[in-house]
C-alpha cells in the first residue's frame, strides 16, 4: 500500500512543478492562444457582418432591379399604347383621305360626264340644226321651183303672221 500513498516531498515537488508549468503556459502559451482565438472570433464576426451587409445590399439591388423592371414594363406598355394609337390615327387619316379623294374623283368624274353630255348634246343640236336646215333648204327649193307653189307659200306665211 505504500505505493498508493505518495510522499510529502513528491507532492510538494509535483505541486511546484505544476504551478511553474501553469505560470509558463499562462505567460507564453495561453496569451497568444487566447489572442489568436480572440482574433479569429473577431474575423468571424467581421465576416458575418460583411455577409449581412452583402445580403442587405443584394436585397436592395434585387428590389431596385424589380422596380426598374416594373418601370421598363410600364414604359414598354406606354410605348405600345402610343404606337397603337398612332397606327389607329394613321389608318383613320388614310381612310378619311381615301374617302375624300374618292368623293373628289367621283365628283370630278360626274362633272366630266356632265360636260361631255352637254358637249355631245350641243354637237347633236348643231348637227340636227344643220341637218334640219339642209332638209328645209331642199324642201324649199323643191317647192320654190314652181311659181304657183311660191305664191301659196307666201300667202300661207302671211296668214300665219297676221294670226300671231
Per-residue model confidence (pLDDT) at position 162: 58
Q: Please say if the pLDDT value at position 163 is more than 60.
A: no
Domain presence at residue 82: yes
Spatial distance between the Cα atoms of 148 and 146, rounded to a whole number of angstroms: 6
Mean pLDDT of 139-153: 72
Kindly report, residue by residue over 5-53, the tens digit of the pLDDT: 778 888 899 999 999 998 888 888 888 888 889 999 999 999 999 999 9
* Inter-residue contact 122 to 112 (CB < 8 Å): no
Give dist(CA 151, CA 145) in Å, integer. 11
Number of domains in the chain: 1
Quote the CA–CA distance of 138 and 89 in Å, as a whole number. Answer: 72
Lowest mean pLDDT among 24-28, 52-56, 110-114, 131-135: 131-135
Lowest average pLDDT, out of 59-63, 76-80, 148-152, goes to 148-152
164 falls in which pLDDT band (50, 70, 90)?
very low
Q: Does some domain include residue 149? A: yes
**Structural domain range at position 103:** 31-163
| Domain contains 3 | no
What is the percentage of the chain residues whose pLDDT exceeds 90?
57
What 3-state DSSP class applies to 145?
A: coil
Query: Is residue 2 very low, low, confident or very high in pLDDT (cuts 50, 70, 90)?
Result: low
Amino acid at each position: 500500500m505504500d505505493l498508493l500513498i505518495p510522499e510529502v516531498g513528491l507532492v510538494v515537488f509535483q505541486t511546484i512543478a505544476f504551478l511553474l508549468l501553469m505560470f509558463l503556459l499562462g505567460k507564453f502559451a495561453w496569451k497568444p492562444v487566447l489572442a489568436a482565438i480572440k482574433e479569429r472570433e473577431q474575423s468571424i464576426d467581421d465576416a458575418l457582418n460583411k455577409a449581412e451587409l452583402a445580403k442587405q445590399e443584394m436585397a436592395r439591388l434585387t428590389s431596385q432591379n424589380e422596380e426598374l423592371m416594373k418601370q421598363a414594363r410600364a414604359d414598354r406598355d406606354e410605348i405600345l399604347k402610343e404606337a397603337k394609337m398612332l397606327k389607329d390615327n394613321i389608318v383613320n387619316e388614310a381612310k378619311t383621305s381615301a374617302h375624300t379623294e374618292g368623293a373628289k374623283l367621283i365628283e370630278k368624274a360626274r362633272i366630266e360626264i356632265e360636260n361631255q353630255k352637254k358637249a355631245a348634246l350641243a354637237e347633236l343640236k348643231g348637227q340636227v340644226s344643220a341637218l334640219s336646215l339642209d332638209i328645209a333648204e331642199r324642201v324649199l327649193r323643191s317647192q320654190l321651183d314652181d311659181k304657183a307653189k311660191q305664191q301659196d307659200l307666201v300667202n300661207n306665211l302671211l296668214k300665219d303672221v297676221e294670226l300671231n
